[in-house]
Amino acid sequence: MLKKRIVICLDVKDGRTTKGVNFLNNIDIGDPVEMAEKYYRQGVDELVFYDIMASHQGRGPILDLISKVAAKVFIPFCVGGGIGSVEDIRATIAAGAEKVSLNSQAVKNPSIITEGAAIFGKQCIVLGMDAARDSSSPSGYRVFINGGRTKTDLDALEWAKKAVSLGAGEIVLNSIDGDGRKTGYEIPLTKMIAENVSVPVIASGGGGKPEHLAEVLTTGKSDAALIASMVHSGEYTVEKIKKSLAASGVPVRFS
């Protein structure tokens, strides 16, 4: 059985790690380079680094900060935020990232998924998708962009399937409704997407305790669980979470 992955997300604003609830009221919680190294040493499987203001501000990724993080961690490292062209993808990978997450820019210009996959390989191209409950959308969930600020006409399931057909090799699926609340993942959303695409799905938004991860990794059918608040607060370490998952019968990797 394939082992499930634990992924830690560092949301970055103005060069500092930040954390909010439902994409609002963000506060400064530390230096992203120091935090990345700490979680790497704790045994996290992967890191995701999101520049949450890049698309909103209409700029590209902060390459010097990416380089500093990449120099401290030796695990898969994904970067998102402001990546809007093949040149941005190339520069981000050259700075040390193994993968790039395309979210708002992929919605605005879907061909970037295909172009990126053709040049760098599907394994490098991750679809970042922020979705929220919306009963008027066919699947019950609608896609939002620009850090959850802008509602689109895209249905979450339709967009996930289209992005995979265009070349996305993985999906980070974030529930806006659960983001930062630590009350559990959006299981119906995660299960629906995971059962309808052929690529790994990373569940995001709502992880607050190991039981939440166990649920989304089993019932929710996700390949990995992304966490932030529960480790940033110091309440849990990666090792503590993995030991709890293993005790629950969820296969995880110990370094």
For residue 11, indicate whether it is catalytic. yes
Q: Which residues pair with 128 in a beta bridge?
A: 172
Choose, from 45, 51, 130, 155, the residue flagged as catalytic: 130
For 243, residues 6+ apart whose C-beta sits below 8 A from its C-beta are none
For residue 88, indicate whether it is catalytic. no
C-alpha span between 51 and 66 (Å, rounded): 10
SS3 123: helix
Element (H, E) at 223: none
Three-state SS string over 155-206 comes to: EHHHHHHHHHHHCCCEEEEEECCCCCCCCCCCHHHHHHHHHHCCCCEEEECC
What does the block give as tokens for 15? 């060069």
**Residues taking part in catalysis:** 11, 130
